[in-house]
Structure 1
Amino acid sequence: MMVKYLYPFIFLLTCNLYSQIQIIGQVKNYINDTPIINAEVFIDNDLITYSDSKGFFELYLDSRNFNLKLKHISYENLSKYFSNVNDTLILFLNPKNFELETITVSTNKFEKKIEDLSISLDVIKGNYIYNQHNYNIENSISQAPSVNIIDGQINIRGGSGWSYGAGSRVLVLLDGISIINSVTGAVQWELIPAENIERIEIIKGASSVIFGSSALNGIVNIISKKSTEIPKTNFSSYYGQYSKAKRNSLNWWKDYVDNPKQYGFNFNHSSKIKGFYYNFGLQFHKDFGYMGLISTNIDTSLNIHHLGEERLRIYFNLEHKSKKNPNINFELKSSFMDFQEEDGFLYKSNINGYSPFSNENYSTFQSREINLAPKFEYSNSERDIKLSISSRFLNTNFEPNSKDKINNYSTIYSEYLIQKFLKNATLNIGLNYNHIIGISNSFTNNKFGNNYSFFSQYDKNIGRIKFNLGMRYEEYNIGKKYGKPVLRSGLNYSFNEKNFFRASIGQGYRFPSLFELYYQRDAGQISIFSNEDLKSESGYSAELGYKYKIQKKNSITYLDLCIYQMRYYDMIELSFGLWGDSTRLNPLGIGLKPINIGDTKISGFDFSVNSNFKFDNINFTTRLSYTYSLPKSVNPNYVYGNFNDRLESLVENLLSDGNIPSSITSIIPQLARSELSYFSTSSNPNNNILKYRYNHLAKLDFEINYKKLTIGTHMRYNSFMKNIDWLFESGAFNSEILDIFTLANANIEDMGIKLSRKKFKRGDFFINFRLYYHFLENYSIQILVENILNREYQLRPGSIGAPRFYSLRISGDF
């Protein structure tokens, strides 16, 4: 009976459809006449549809007269009024000049405008890196908003502190594939050709759905330059020198040698031969280092020990585009490095802050590293599908010249990705397989591991709303199995062309590295211990953000405000304790051991202003950022470990030797703090602040370019590191403190760490300056001054930052 009542409505709907006018159009590239996919089609500022795989779209309108607007991420907007349209519209768009616009690829594995993202992201462009010291990519990345790097370990928004030798919670990619050594868990910074970088994209927050383990705190994707048809050659040579520190006792070299120096050169060339695009480069870098010591031989002659680094790096990249089938693309990216570094770990004392505490027993690392990354891509525009197969072979040999020691680690990464481009959506489906090989006589036996994962993400545009949903399941098998499913979702809403709101929540995880599980070594009088009982750490990151875009003919400004919260479960951090047996250098067996410390929560907000202005021959760029972070322990009384068995053995030895009276044995566990919790291991447990973090981090970078001259400066302030491991302020390193270590006469070294930290309670502030001048058409000169005020600052307890550093670089481009 109800059906007959529907007939009038069906009839009216049919009449309305037939009364509307069908308009057909096609969108093409003005330069090469090729169709443009996924162009947004607006009528009177309302988004109606998108162009298909052949650039076509259909409209059903009430009139043949209308206002039409076309938008696309890679092309200039087109607005036009049409009247009395009867034929198919052929519309051409001009490719954009991307000098002002910021385009990203990391969050979704395809291009998007930065204002259309659902998660916070920052971009460092290649020119900025080139105007820095391009032999060290860490320096450039550490200047990005919310980012801090200590001893090569990167954290974003306080997602991790200082954890010497622990795995990274930030996944670092080179062209979309991990450059983290899965065995050590460390980023292979030195292997990255810093002189061949197009841009760097930094994602803040958990990104494990797309990228997997280690993306718990964020992503850094380093994107290499592409070769061009026109041959290009660049060479540069540089020389730098450290100043003397203001505090004279730090300058261990002052009476014997000149100020420590560094020097090196870069060479790279790119071109095309038939269908093959290639580029290759060579870098040599020698840094004597500002840390070191003078030792005396038996014959009273002196040995001068510089704790620096030396490396030789070669890279070669090849890309082939098939003429017979232009939809097929093949790439091979490779690099090789010979590297040597000396590491003092901790300073000798606050007075001798540029000398290692272990004297000539400092650690020396030598490695030979190989990176091979082939990639195959196939695109089918008729079916709107793109297939890519990517892989990376990463090998690190830490004892390349030794006949007795073996420390050889390899990782094979592979990813299979299918992208389906729909009318107003994109679907990513992928598989990962990673194989890990650890061959070392520091392990009880050779270690092997496998890692499998499946992931999928769906991105959809509905009018002003852009949202995504993703999931991933990953399993890690390295002696025992770890498995983890994770989800993420995000939303971006554009109120208009200036105002954008975003929200996202994503889960993340990190599996322990082989080093954390099985590897042990001595760093002078302190040991780094392993822990086979480690559990994987997991968590989530959520944020709400607002971006305001101001764009005019010659300028663009982004204002961004974001509030965030990160929650971690079974967080892994290194804890000091009496973990091991006595050794010649380490009689107490004292050291650092990775432990699951329980649940933590990090809340805060970011604010940033990025601007780029062009006026005639003047180009002005500025980047201002401020991050407030409140990292807290959720269960500060939770006891997550102890070293009672080692303490009992120590007490028995002390009693038998008569070093302590038996009357105080009952209070020794309290003095030694052998029951490990947040409270017992913290130097300042007030307010439950996590260790090795800053509450405040502010940065300002501005650069002005006029014709051939570029001048820039970078300023940074971080607040005081309120909480560290209690052991650093105990009698083990401070002779004025009465505790188990002074009772046992086991003061490792009177470093004065507790007293030295009092000087830095206002935090650290320093300024860098750079100048770049182009001359004689093909040549340029660069002057760089780091820490221009020559301020003394602490990187972490037991480590003082470098004094003022001057550098001069001369380059040629042909």
Structure 2
Amino acid sequence: PSQNLSVMVGAVIQQNTIDSKNLYRQQGSSQQALYAQADYQENRWTWGAGMRMERYVTNGLERLTLPQIRTSLNYHLFAPSTSSDTMVVEIMPLRVDPLPDAARGGFLRASIGQGFRLPSIAELYSNSKIGGVRILGDSTLNAEESWSAEVGYLHRFGRSAWQPELDLALFHSFYRNLVEFNFVVQLPAVYDAQDSAWKNDSTLSDNEKTSRIIQKYARFKPMGVPEAIIQGVEAQLSGSLPWSKGLFQYRLGYTFSNPLNLRPPTFDSTYNSTLTDLMRFLKYRYRHLLRAEFSCHLKSWTLTSQIRYNSIPLNIDKDYYRFIPGLMDHRIRTRYGDWLVDLRLGWTGQQGRYRFNFIVRNALNRSWMPVPGNIGE
């Protein structure tokens, strides 16, 4: 009805069948969904809204979600005066054009909406061993439900071929039934014959005996966090700078997040597998994350450096300390976080038809663990 209004509607019909003898066994699921999205633009305002209804069935168990609604609002706060700068930087294989006037200046945005995530087949029905540790699913898991809100400001300077862009955002998300995989060691009340044989084996050290028993009874199992929030702030600055023989590009970003469990476990809970003084934090989340990327383009050559810093996760599964020797020392040694540097040298030829890259990951040769026991690259 209007050139300023766009509407999109759609449907999803999906049928899945899994036949995995060792991991998931035989499982089936089906999904049907209806969705609609509308966007309207008037002068400096842009408004959008959408809704989605979904039906999901796993092994005959029907999971029907409520309608999910999301809306957003954007406003072009101000724009600089029309610039006569039409400088174009072209360096094979890159081309950097000046921004059009409609894309310059400041932009305010706000959004709020609902979301959900249905448990995966792995979370529901896993029953296998990986590396000697049993992976178990939980068929009683409920769907994750959430609502999230964001307020942000984007400023595009763009008066020349050097096009810096600054993006600031505040975000807040609330979750119900947030699924987390827990690592637990559930020792039996009475040991079996194999356990007794290990304990009485004089050729094994005490550490070897303990390690074998813990590995035998170690479990990975998903559990739902009743209520949680993740809130924080994010900032990013990016741009490009031409010079006499090439082009320099940069991107700097920082994220602070506060991931909290609003209903932390009590001492008699089956979820009690974390460091007790840090239970209020969600596990394996970084509070501070810093990223930087610098690229230098010279004709067909590109040299890129990627730098990342992350703080140490405050909360991990407590039973890892019993299972992985030296974990406590490693966490103390890296208590101020990890710095990682990746390097990439690339060549592009024949107008982009051929590309070759030489990549060095973790150039500083840092020892770091994204998850205990999983040594980073």
**When the two structures are superposed, what TM-score results if normalisation uses the length of structure 1?**
0.38
Match in the other structure for 2:294:
702
Which amino acid is the alignment partner of residue 436 of structure 1?
N
1:691 to 283, 307, 312: 283
Gap regions ≥5 residues in structure 2: 80-104, 195-211
Alpha-carbon distance in structure 2 between the residues aligned to 1:618 and 1:629: 37
Match in the other structure for 2:234:
606
Describe the SS at the equivalent of 2:7: strand
Q: How does 1:639-678 map to 2 (within 5 A)?
A: 675-677=269-271
Alpha-carbon distance in structure 2 between the residues aligned to 1:597 and 1:445: 27
Which amino acid is the alignment partner of residue 451 of structure 1?
Q
Alpha-carbon distance in structure 1 between the residues aligned to 2:361 and 2:375: 15
Which amino acid is the alignment partner of residue 261 of structure 2?
S
1:483 to 61, 64, 67: 64
Describe the SS at the equivalent of 1:556: coil
Which amino acid is the alignment partner of residue 799 of structure 1?
N
1:751: Cα distance to partner? 2.0
**Change over 3 Å in CA distance of 1:543–1:566 after alignment to 2:** same
Q: Which structure has the bigger radius of gyration? A: 1
Match in the other structure for 2:256:
628
1:578: Cα distance to partner? 5.0
Describe the SS at the equivalent of 2:370: strand
Q: How does 1:189-208 map to 2 (within 5 A)?
A: none
1:617: Cα distance to partner? 4.1
Alpha-carbon distance in structure 2 between the residues aligned to 1:726 and 1:425: 54
The answer to whether the 8 Å contact 1:435/1:450 transfers is yes
Matched, 1:458 2:32: no
2:47 to 464, 467, 477: 467
The answer to whether the 8 Å contact 2:264/2:279 transfers is no
Work out the percentage of aligned pairs sharing the same amino acid. 28
Which amino acid is the alignment partner of residue 592 of structure 1?
F
Paired residues, number? 328
Alpha-carbon distance in structure 2 between the residues aligned to 1:439 and 1:506: 36
Q: How does 1:336-375 map to 2 (within 5 A)?
A: none
Match in the other structure for 2:78:
496
Alpha-carbon distance in structure 2 between the residues aligned to 1:728 and 1:580: 14
1:783: Cα distance to partner? 3.1
**Change over 3 Å in CA distance of 1:505–1:709 after alignment to 2:** same
Match in the other structure for 1:801:
376
**Change over 3 Å in CA distance of 1:483–1:784 after alignment to 2:** same
Match in the other structure for 2:152:
545
CA RMSD of the aligned region, Å? 2.6
Alpha-carbon distance in structure 2 between the residues aligned to 1:422 and 1:626: 40
The answer to whether the 8 Å contact 2:70/2:112 transfers is yes
Matched, 1:682 2:270: no
Alpha-carbon distance in structure 2 between the residues aligned to 1:676 and 1:437: 32
Q: How does 1:439-588 map to 2 (within 5 A)?
A: 439-442=19-22, 446-478=26-58, 479-484=60-65, 485-497=67-79, 498-578=105-185
Alpha-carbon distance in structure 2 between the residues aligned to 1:430 and 1:501: 29
Deviation digits for residues 749-777 of structure 1 (CA, Å, limit 9, x no counterpart): x5222222111101000212222345799
Alpha-carbon distance in structure 2 between the residues aligned to 1:775 and 1:468: 42
Matched, 1:725 2:317: yes
Gap regions ≥5 residues in structure 1: 1-420, 640-672, 734-749, 803-814
Deviation digits for residues 150-201 of structure 1 (CA, Å, limit 9, x no counterpart): xxxxxxxxxxxxxxxxxxxxxxxxxxxxxxxxxxxxxxxxxxxxxxxxxxxx
1:708: Cα distance to partner? 2.9
Q: How does 1:234-253 map to 2 (within 5 A)?
A: none
Match in the other structure for 1:424:
4
Alpha-carbon distance in structure 1 between the residues aligned to 2:72 and 2:219: 42
**Change over 3 Å in CA distance of 1:684–1:694 after alignment to 2:** farther
1:469: Cα distance to partner? 0.9
Describe the SS at the equivalent of 1:754: helix
Alpha-carbon distance in structure 2 between the residues aligned to 1:684 and 1:489: 39
1:576: Cα distance to partner? 2.8
Which amino acid is the alignment partner of residue 786 of structure 1?
R
1:444: Cα distance to partner? 9.0
Alpha-carbon distance in structure 2 between the residues aligned to 1:453 and 1:780: 41
Alpha-carbon distance in structure 2 between the residues aligned to 1:716 and 1:789: 12
1:477: Cα distance to partner? 0.7
**When the two structures are superposed, what TM-score results if normalisation uses the length of structure 2?**
0.80
Which amino acid is the alignment partner of residue 715 of structure 1?
I
1:706: Cα distance to partner? 2.1
The answer to whether the 8 Å contact 1:618/1:705 transfers is yes
**Change over 3 Å in CA distance of 1:576–1:787 after alignment to 2:** closer
1:786 to 357, 361, 373: 361
Which amino acid is the alignment partner of residue 8 of structure 2?
N
Describe the SS at the equivalent of 1:592: strand
Which amino acid is the alignment partner of residue 494 of structure 1?
H
Match in the other structure for 1:752:
326
Describe the SS at the equivalent of 1:689: coil
The answer to whether the 8 Å contact 2:164/2:240 transfers is yes
